[in-house]
Amino acid sequence: MSKKSKKAKAPELTPDELRHAYRVAVRNRSMDERIVRLLSQGRVKFAIYGPGQEMHATATALAWHKATGGKDFGFCGHYRSGTLVSMWSELTGREDFVKDVLRQQLSKATDPFSGGRQMVNHLIDIPRGILPIQSPLGMNLGKAAGWAQAQKLMGMSNGFVAATIGDGSTAEGDLHDTMNAISVWSLPMLVMVTDNEVAISTKPSEGRGIKNLDKYAKAFDLEFFEADGNDFFACYETAYRAARYCIENQRGAMWHVHGLSRLNGHSSAGNYRFNLEQTDPLGVFGPELVKRGVLEQSDIVTRVPGEGADYFAHHDLGRIMGEEDAIVGRWMQEVEAEADPDPNGIYEWTRPAFPQVDDPADLSSRPRTNVTYAGALRSAHKHILESRPSGVWGQDVGHLGGVMQATAGLKDLFPDRVIDAPINEPLIVGTAVGAGMHPDFTALPEIQFGDYSLNAYHWLVHMGNLYWSSLGQAKPSVILRMPSDPFGGGAMYHSMSLDGFFSAIPGLVICMPSTSYDAYGLMLSAADYGGPVVMLEPKYCYRRTNGPAFPQEPDPSDKAAVKALKDHIRRGGIPEIGEGVRVPLGKGIVRHEGGDLTVVGWGRGALYGLEVAEKLAGEGIGIDMIDLRTIVPPDMDLVFESVQKTGRLLVVADDRPFAGFHREIQAQVVEAFPGVPTKAVGMKNVPAVSQNEMIEEHTVLTPERLEEAARALLAGAVKSTGAAGWNWMPSRYITG
Phi/psi at 216 (5° precision): -60, -45
Query: 168-173 long-range CB contacts below 8 Å, 24 or more apart?
Result: 168/137, 168/198, 168/199, 168/200, 168/202, 168/207, 168/208, 169/78, 169/137, 169/138, 169/199, 170/208, 170/209, 170/210, 170/213, 171/199, 171/207, 171/208, 171/209, 171/210, 172/137, 172/138, 173/138, 173/426
Report the alpha-carbon distance of residue 652 to residue 12 in Å, rounded: 69
Task: Verify whether residue 568 is a known catalytic residue.
Answer: no
What is the rounded CA–CA span in Å between residue 170 and residue 163?
13
Cα separation, 502 vs 175, in Å, equals: 25
Neighbours of 310 (CB within 10 A): 15
Distance CA 301, CA 316 (A): 6
Q: Are residues 31 and 83 in contact, defined by beta-carbon separation less than 8 angstroms?
A: no
> Cα angle at 128 between 127 and 129, to 5 degrees?
95
> Strand, helix or coil at 158?
coil
Element containing residue 255 per DSSP (H, E)? strand 253-258
Instruction: Give whole-number Cα distances, 110 to 31, 88, 335, 340, 727, in Å.
Output: 18, 21, 8, 8, 41
Length of the chain: 736
Helix (H, G, I), strand (E, B) or coil at 44: coil
The active-site residue, picked from 494, 568, 592, 662, is: 494
**DSSP character string of 447-507:** -SSGGGGGGGHHHHHHHHHHHHHTTTS----BEEEEEES--SS--TTS----HHHHTTSTT
Nearest to 651, CA basis, from 696, 701, 691: 701
Q: How far apart are the first and last CA of the chain?
A: 48
What is residue 166's three-state secondary structure? strand
State the Cα–Cα distance between residues 143 and 476, nearest whole angstrom. Answer: 10
DSSP code of residue 38: H
51: which DSSP letter?
T
Catalytic annotation, residues: 494
